[in-house]
């Protein structure tokens, strides 16, 4: 099993950088949406998608516009732009004969997956990992002084996850305005909510709210003592095992034909 480059054009004409993990003939195809400012090469994205690939699920992980190796500027990004990138990823995979049936989103990528699934008819199930229900929760990662400068000047350089980013007011406004509840209630897909009770980046109450808003079939799995970024390999393996087992009930697995 080898990782393959899978770049594609985003909705704004930017080239988005992706990689596909999995066997040549996987049982099903999935897309992994990374966390806020993380990128496709984060430990969580890399380890989880490779573990899923080893279990027979082919997965695309890609950088949202302005992050990693993708074109574009992070300062121009919004939550809606991430959702649009995710939809474009699904369209590109389908055009390449790798139609995805599962969305997996980590942190803010989980919120984007919940939003995008409703416009992606081929998606049959959704998984969130440490996802926020209230997108304003993401603003807790910003220094209050930086938020004040963004409000006053329209943009500011902030440090997130140890790296500098230029953040504009339109991103902050979008995080404050989006309401996930109606999208979750109208999802009409099986949903698996995964969250660590001790997550100190996105608190466990977010998982409870997502689960409550969703209609059945829905499932919740505790990630016990895992940290938000799944930095321990055993946690990524555990997540992959559970996603593989849970999704096999809902996805068109090729192995079912035998």
Percent of the chain with pLDDT over 70: 95
Confidence of residue 162 (pLDDT cuts 50, 70, 90): low
* 240: CB partners within 8 A, 6+ apart: 48, 51, 52, 54, 55
Mean pLDDT of the chain, nearest integer: 90
Structure tokens at 249: 């009930």
How would you classify the pairing of strands 125-129 and 191-195? Answer: parallel
What count of other Cβ atoms lies within 10 Å of the Cβ of residue 226? 24
Place of tokens 């992959």: 240
Residue 161: what pLDDT? 57
- The mean pLDDT value for 131-149 works out to 81
The structural architecture, per CATH, of the domain 4-134+179-248 is: 3-Layer(aba) Sandwich (3.40)
Do the bridges between strand 155-160 and strand 163-168 make them parallel or antiparallel, or are there none, so unpaired? Answer: antiparallel
pLDDT tens for 91-102 read: 999 999 999 999
What is the predicted pLDDT for the residue at 258?
Answer: 42
> Is pLDDT above 80 for 114?
yes
How do 18-21 and 8-9 pair as beta strands? unpaired
Domain ranges of the chain: 4-134+179-248
> Among all chains, which residue has been given the structure tokens 């790798």?
98
The torsion defined by the Cα of 247, 1, 60 and 166, in degrees rounded to 10, comes to 130
- Reported as a pLDDT band with limits 50, 70 and 90, residue 257 is very low
Q: What is the pLDDT of residues 42-89, one digit of tens each?
A: 999 999 999 999 999 999 999 999 999 999 988 777 888 999 999 999
Q: Quick one: average pLDDT of 134-146? A: 77
pLDDT at 24: 87
Pairing of strands 102-106, 125-129: parallel
pLDDT in tens, 237-248: 999 999 999 999
Per-residue pLDDT averaged across 183-202, rounded? Answer: 95
């Amino acid at each position: 099993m080898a990782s393959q480059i899978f770049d594609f054009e985003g909705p704004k004409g930017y080239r988005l950088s992706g990689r596909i993990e999995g066997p040549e003939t996987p049982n099903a195809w999935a897309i992994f949406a990374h966390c806020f400012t993380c990128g496709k090469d984060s430990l969580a994205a890399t380890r989880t998608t490779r573990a899923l690939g080893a279990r027979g699920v082919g997965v695309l992980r890609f950088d949202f516009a302005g992050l990693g190796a993708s074109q574009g500027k992070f300062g121009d990004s919004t939550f809606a732009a991430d959702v649009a990138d995710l939809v474009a990823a699904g369209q590109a995979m389908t055009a390449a004969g790798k139609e995805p049936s599962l969305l997996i989103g980590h942190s803010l990528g989980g919120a984007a997956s919940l939003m995008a699934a409703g416009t992606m008819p081929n998606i049959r199930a959704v998984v969130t990992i440490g996802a926020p229900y209230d997108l304003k929760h993401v603003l807790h990662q910003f220094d209050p002084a930086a938020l004040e400068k963004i409000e006053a000047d329209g943009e500011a350089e902030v440090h997130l996850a140890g790296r500098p980013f230029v953040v504009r007011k339109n991103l902050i406004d979008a995080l404050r305005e989006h309401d996930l509840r109606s999208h979750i209630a109208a999802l009409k897909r099986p949903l698996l909510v995964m969250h660590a009770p001790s997550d100190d980046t996105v608190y466990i109450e977010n998982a409870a709210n997502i689960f409550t808003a969703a209609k059945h079939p829905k499932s919740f799995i505790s990630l016990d003592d895992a940290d938000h970024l799944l930095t321990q390999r055993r946690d990524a393996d555990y997540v992959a095992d559970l996603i593989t087992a849970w999704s096999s009930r809902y996805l068109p697995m090729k192995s079912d034909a035998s």
